[in-house]
Amino acid sequence: MALLRFGSLLLLGFLLVAQCAPQKKFRRHMVRGRPEGGFVPKPVKNEKYAGERSYMAGIFENKVDHFSLNSTAVYNQRYWYNDQWYKSGGPVFLMLGGESEEDPYWVQDGDLEWTQMAQQNGAMVFLLEHRYYGQSRPTTDMATANLVYLSSAQALEDMAMFITAMKVKFPNIAAAPWVTFGGSYSGALAAWARIKHPELVAMAVGSSGPVQAENSITRESAQCAQSVTTAFNQVAALLQTASGRQSLKSTFNLCDDLVPTDAKQIENFWQTVYGPYMEIVQYSGDNACLNTLYVEKTTEVEKLDRFYIDECTNIFGSDYNSASVASAVAHVNDYYGGRNMDSSYIILPNGNIDPWHALGKLNSSTSTILPVVIDGAAHCADMYSPSSTDPASMAAARKTIATQLQQWLQSIN
């Protein structure tokens, strides 16, 4: 009964914060396990920089296909830069964009972790938007055939061409060492940039980067996992009966009756329930009741996992199925090395309450690859400005990252 009571209260807390609203007007922060704007939340705007524009914006003409000798097609890729902290002989910091439109605030706010380090090292900072996101579109439409150019490998070649061009455009940084930064997917991308282009990228800081590709990850934290599992199972059972659905309508303050034959409505309901749970275990905030390595999936979640594969097949064709996904996962690990990466001068911060840290590199046998495991920290939490809600370990972790990066930069000058 204690577990049921815990589970009920947990789920009750998810949705009672919102007033009743028709489904068509309800906006979820998490959509099918993914935040609306990608896995790296945009920085909270600091009033200190309100109205200030210390950065410049630019368009770089990049290749659509870097792996075809016969391809001459190009596209416009957006970037932003800020040289106000640059000192002669200093390095260049490049934030690689991820799976969302980029926000130039990343190069404007001087209180973010990476801009603080830019000031410490006299660095010029750049932000490069990822292909296919925001306004950096290699193709005129998103037809399946055109998505063949959407890959991490193509994105890294975008970066290589960009760095090469910026060295020419800005002669004062022609000989400067470049350091790549990123968070979540782009955190892995930052590390991979150092692996694939060591001639251009001297160092990398990849926050919460899932460098090890896997089809599915499950970890156990018995008490919490069982409580959440029990709660979801209870909801699933209530959905099976008319009285149960009425109970859910009342408990979750729903406007409409739950109709079991309305597949879209039921799917929307489940995503609404799962969404806040996925968000609270991934991002900073009061995560006390879900302070866990990872939570074992319930039967219903596993059904949705299979649904995602089917969805890809339905949208993109029969070439996209469980077998092709498994093959792609294996290829990524083979191409970049996974946790067994063969490289140097890479810093890999991970929060230990971030579920994605299970795919990170958490230990190293070499002093030139530095994993930084941050106790009590969530996904990409180290990338932002210091906050009163930061765990006690965050300040120490940021100091470790900044000190190591500075030492490496000094060692190559």
How confident is the model over 84-112, as pLDDT tens digits?
Answer: 999 999 999 999 999 999 999 999 999 99
pLDDT value at residue 345: 99
Q: Which position has the token pair 């309100």? A: 50
Q: Is 184 a catalytic residue?
A: yes
User: Out of 223-237, 251-265, 268-282, 313-327, which region has the weakest mean confidence (pLDDT)?
Assistant: 268-282
Q: What is the mean pLDDT of the chain?
A: 84
The three-class DSSP label of residue 349 is strand
Both tokens assigned to 88 = 């002669």
Q: What confidence category does residue 232 fall into, taking pLDDT thresholds of 50, 70 and 90?
A: confident
Closest CA to 326 of 214, 222, 191: 214
Task: Name the residue ranges covered by the structural domains of the chain.
Answer: 2-17+24-36+219-296, 54-211+338-412
Q: What confidence category does residue 292 fall into, taking pLDDT thresholds of 50, 70 and 90?
A: very low
Closest CA to 135 of 65, 83, 67, 57: 57
Closest CA to 164 of 153, 181, 178: 178
Closest CA to 151 of 137, 126, 136, 130: 130
Q: What confidence category does residue 255 fall into, taking pLDDT thresholds of 50, 70 and 90?
A: confident
- Contact assessment for residue 105 and residue 43, using Cβ atoms and an 8 Å cutoff: yes
- Contact assessment for residue 212 and residue 363, using Cβ atoms and an 8 Å cutoff: no
What distance in Å separates the CA atoms of residue 166 and residue 58, rounded to the nearest whole number?
11
Between CA 70 and CA 74, with CA 71 as vertex, the angle to 5 degrees is: 155
Q: Is 379 a catalytic residue?
A: yes
Both tokens assigned to 213 = 């590709």
**Strands, E, within 233-287: which ranges?**
none
CA dihedral 168, 173, 174, 175 (to 10 degrees): -170
The catalytic position among 100, 136, 184, 208 is 184
Q: Is the pLDDT of residue 31 over 60?
A: no
Closest CA to 279 of 33, 12, 68: 33
Closest CA to 256 of 276, 237, 272: 272
pTM of the model: 0.77
State how beta strands 178-183 and 92-96 pair.
parallel
347 — phi, psi (to 5°)? -110, 130
**Strands, E, within 171-211: which ranges?**
178-183, 201-207
Q: Residue range 231-254: average pLDDT?
A: 89
Q: Is 331 a catalytic residue?
A: no
What distance in Å separates the CA atoms of residue 290 and residue 277, rounded to the nearest whole number?
9
pLDDT value at residue 362: 97
Strands of the sheet containing 346-351, edge to edge, are 56-63, 74-82, 124-128, 92-96, 178-183, 201-207, 346-351, 369-374
The catalytic position among 357, 379, 382, 390 is 379
- Contact assessment for residue 34 and residue 257, using Cβ atoms and an 8 Å cutoff: no
- Contact assessment for residue 411 and residue 367, using Cβ atoms and an 8 Å cutoff: no
**Higher local confidence (pLDDT), 203 or 303:** 203
The catalytic position among 83, 103, 109, 354 is 354
Strand partners of residue 59: 78
CATH for 54-211+338-412? 3.40.50.1820
Alpha-helix residue ranges (DSSP H) falling in 122-214: 152-169, 185-196
In the DSSP assignment, the letter for residue 44 is P
Percent of the chain with pLDDT over 90: 58
Closest CA to 375 of 263, 260, 276, 287: 287
pLDDT value at residue 328: 92
